[in-house]
A and B are shown apart, each in its own frame.
Chain A
Amino acid sequence: MRDLFTGNFGIDPLTGQTILSEILFYLPNTLELVLFSFIIIIIVGVAIGYQAGMHFSTLRDSVARITYLVSWSTPMYLAAIVAILLFANYIPIFPSGGMYSLSIAPPPPVTGIFLIDALIALDMTAFVSGVQHLILPALALAFVNFGLISRAVRSSILNVRWSTYVKTARAKGLTEREVRRKHILRNALVDATSLSAVIFGWVLTSTLVVEELFAWPGLGQFAYQAIFSNDYPVLIPIVVVFTFGVIVANFVADVAYSILDPRIGMGANGAVT
């Protein structure tokens, strides 16, 4: 058990390297991809859910609902395949795979995250190449996973829209904008925050498919290879790392929750009550 917490996962029987060093090599790449698409998911998800909720039962609501239901029902591999076929094959504006062009010397690793390293080294060509390679997989990830946020925002807006305190806020003479921003949207964001941890877990695990199709050298691809070569000594630490990521995301969401919603305080022992 002590080895688990000190990161001593043993040695990869296939490559002979320590598993920790391999995970530390792959993890930053996955984090780059996941965080980038997570930002897209939050922005797009909240915007679409807000539009749907505020225009409930109208055309705009239907369009928004169809959008997020379809996106949510899309298999991860379909989004990735269509993205590759459309934007890398038929309209070749983005590269189809990899993390940066092979013609570019990678910047010296400082943080391990390619884009940040390129910025630190002030290597603009590497940075642009990194962003180009990042866009397609990140968009594919975002497209599949934003639906749950939209749905949560929409349904919590519907829950508060006709409530008495919103009426009170209007009666107090607040402008419509203020009512919407401070009273409706803020409440909707509380639900979205608690869900964002779930979404983060989904995005993290969706990397399994996306990284395989986009040849992104990340933890998902590493896990895939480990499963295929029956490399259980490697698979177990990867599951631990993924699980740990989900738990950390849950914790961050809980903290953000208590900041957004003053009614939820921290209990005496640090537990969110």
Chain B
Amino acid sequence: MAQSLKFRQIVLSNRLTSLGLLVVIASVSVGVAFAIFGARVTPYDPFVLNLQESNLPPSISHLFGTDFQGRDVFSRVIAALPIDLGLPIAIVLLSSVLGMFLGMTAGYMGGVVDEVIMRITDLFLAFPTIIMVLAVAATLGPGLVNAMFAFVFVWWPPYVRLVRGGVLEVAAEDFISISKALNSSFSHIILKGILPNIMPSVLTYATLDVGTALLEVSILGFLGIGIPPNTPELGVMVGSISYGLYTYPWQALFPAFVTMLLVIGFSFLGEGVREASDVKVRPYILFKGRTFKKATKAAPQVAAAH
């Protein structure tokens, strides 16, 4: 308990990390609010065309201006949050579950199974991500679910490597061999012995990965493949402007900057958590003006993470 308290303190003592956490919490709650209440939480209906008010510059009544069909860009950005947060989170969740399953199988079984799984993983890792996603999404046709599967198809290999490495490390520890000697069941060793020890590194990687997935999803939308046109999605909103860029830059800039803000939130958060769980670096992090080592007057902590 003391360990986790300190961990939380370190994470929150870093202003960048707290900022990231704030951005993530705020955007997720707005996204959830829109998903539940729909257009009632936005100043205008993001789906209704109003051609009389098309291409208006940003003003007080239209915070981010309006797009070429007169829809309020600010409302559309809010409407995009459930998709732009939900899709990456779903992608990372599915990929990490798949990756944990394959990685634990490979790491724990070893031998031929390990060899086969890892060679397949290497094969998938060699393909450039976004190109493969584009090819798969173009084949599957437009649709949010299709886009998600296109991503999961190429997103899982890093998780397999991460989990397998962790399993190999943990499985060599004494407590696992003791556990085996005590005739613990297979599922007990996996769930109680190995899983808790690899979860921190997976979670850290996943936090950063949500940001990356968000970027790639919006790039997919920008290129206009996989995600249906006219969907309120940040990348789609940027991509639909290419001809009026010089005249109506706000239509592209605001959604693009919001994308950046969201990704920054996840990056700052993930980065801070990663740093705080790094045993070698943690004692030297400045904590209330002193290094953490001095602040606790203790030897470098042996962290549960890693």
Which residues on A are within 8 Å of B, measured CB to CB?
56-57, 62, 65-66, 69-70, 72-78, 81-82, 84-85, 89, 151, 155, 158-159, 162, 201, 204-205, 208-209, 212-213, 223-224, 227-228, 230, 235, 238-239, 242-243, 246-247, 250
Contact between B126 and A73 (Cβ–Cβ < 8 Å)?
no
Scan B222-243; emit 1 where CB is below 8 A from any A CB, else 0: 1111000000000100110010
Bound complex: CA A89 to CA B245 (Å): 10
Contact between A239 and B215 (Cβ–Cβ < 8 Å)?
no
Question: Which residue of B16, B127, B245, B280 is within 8 Å of A65 (Cβ)?
Answer: B16
Chain A residue numbers with a CB within 8 Å of B132 are: 239
Contact between A81 and B238 (Cβ–Cβ < 8 Å)?
yes
Question: Which residue of B138, B218, B219, B268 is within 8 Å of A230 (Cβ)?
Answer: B138
Bound complex: CA A77 to CA B219 (Å): 8
Scan B273-297; emit 1 where CB is below 8 A from any A CB, else 0: 0000010110011100001000000
Contact between B263 and A73 (Cβ–Cβ < 8 Å)?
yes
A-B contact pairs, 16 of them (CB 8 A): A73-B215, A73-B260, A74-B263, A77-B219, A78-B256, A81-B256, A151-B271, A155-B278, A158-B280, A227-B223, A228-B224, A239-B127, A239-B135, A242-B131, A243-B131, A250-B126
Contact between B223 and A205 (Cβ–Cβ < 8 Å)?
no
Contact between B245 and A69 (Cβ–Cβ < 8 Å)?
no
Question: Which residue of B246, B256, B281, B286 is within 8 Å of A158 (Cβ)?
Answer: B281
Sample of 7 further A-B pairs with CB below 8 A, known A72-B267, A81-B249, A239-B135? A73-B215, A78-B259, A162-B280, A201-B128, A205-B131, A223-B134, A235-B138
Question: Which residue of A62, A66, A78, A201 is within 8 Å of B260 (Cβ)?
Answer: A78
Bound complex: CA A148 to CA B9 (Å): 27
Bound complex: CA A77 to CA B222 (Å): 8
Bound complex: CA A86 to CA B286 (Å): 38
Question: Which residue of A158, A212, A227, A247 is within 8 Å of B126 (Cβ)?
Answer: A247
Chain A residue numbers with a CB within 8 Å of B130 are: 205, 208
Bound complex: CA A212 to CA B242 (Å): 10
Supposing A57-B284, A57-B285, A85-B249 touch, asked if A75 and B138 sit within 8 A by C-beta, the answer is no
Decide if B94 is an interface residue (CB 8 Å cutoff). no
Bound complex: CA A66 to CA B127 (Å): 30
Chain B residue numbers with a CB within 8 Å of A66 are: 16
Chain B residue numbers with a CB within 8 Å of A75 are: 215, 218-219, 222, 235, 238, 256, 259-260, 263
Contact between B215 and A227 (Cβ–Cβ < 8 Å)?
no
Supposing A66-B16, A227-B134, A247-B126 touch, asked if A73 and B211 sit within 8 A by C-beta, the answer is yes
Bound complex: CA A246 to CA B222 (Å): 24
Question: Which residue of A56, A84, A209, A235 is within 8 Å of B219 (Cβ)?
Answer: A209
Decide if B90 is an interface residue (CB 8 Å cutoff). no
Residue of B nearest to A212 (CB): B223
Scan B8-21; emit 1 where CB is below 8 A from any A CB, else 0: 00000000100000
Contact between A243 and B256 (Cβ–Cβ < 8 Å)?
no
Q: How far is the CB of B160 from chain A (nearest CB, A)?
A: 17
Chain A residue numbers with a CB within 8 Å of B253 are: 78, 81-82, 85
Chain B residue numbers with a CB within 8 Å of A155 are: 278, 281
Chain B residue numbers with a CB within 8 Å of A74 are: 260, 263
Decide if B3 is an interface residue (CB 8 Å cutoff). no
Contact between A243 and B135 (Cβ–Cβ < 8 Å)?
no
